[in-house]
Amino acid sequence: GCQKERLLKRAQAEAEGKTVEAKKPIVVKYGLDHVTYLIEQSKAQLVVIAHDVDPIELVVWLPALCRKMEIPYCIVKGKARLGSIVHKKTASVLCLTTVKNEDKLEFSKILEAIKSNFNDKFDEVRKKWGGGIMGSKSQAKTKAREKLLAKEAAQRMT
């Protein structure tokens, strides 16, 4: 593959006594600890979190950290899908640190969409509670209160 050719070229160059400048390959970083470190160093450019991590407490705090460090993050379905990217069974978190120059424009568009869908909606989601459905006792109380108010209003009219 590509790696073998690269190593052969490097070996030939070394045999001829030349110095080899090795380009750092662009890779997807994975692993919770490693990704956390990269976020803290603000080297991460995009963090991808799986939705089905078990126990969920492992990644619950990541969005907050990403927001604090102003790093775009997104939550996607399936840690198995993330795993296939890094040639493992599963991966709960991935992150990108570098992007090829020719992909910069497209990447910035993706980041824009991700920021508006995840980072900026964080407060909205955090402040929204359940569906606002009260228990049977509370429902009965509010019904009784409404009846009473309606009765009083009717008496005022007459």
pLDDT 10s digits, 103-149: 889 999 999 998 888 888 777 766 766 667 788 898 899 999 999 99
The class that CATH gives domain 26-128 is alpha beta
* DSSP state letters, the chain: -HHHHHHHHHHHHHHTT---PPPPPP-EEE-HHHHHHHHHTT--SEEEEES--SSGGGTTTHHHHHHHTT--EEEES-HHHHHHHTTSS--SEEEE----GGGHHHHHHHHHHHIIIIITTHHHHHH--S--PPPHHHHHHHHHHHHHHHHHHHHHH-
Q: Tens digit of pLDDT for each residue in 81-99? A: 999 999 999 999 999 999 8
| pLDDT given at position 130 | 67
Are the C-beta atoms of residues 73 and 48 closer than 8 Å to each other?
Answer: yes
| pLDDT given at position 35 | 93
Is residue 11 scored above 80 in pLDDT? yes
Which residue in 17, 20, 38 sits closest to 29, CA to CA?
38
Selected residue with higher pLDDT from 126 and 45:
45
Is residue 18 scored above 90 in pLDDT? no
Residue whose pair of structure tokens reads 């980072």 in the numeric block:
119
| pLDDT given at position 77 | 92
Averaged pLDDT, 54-78: 90
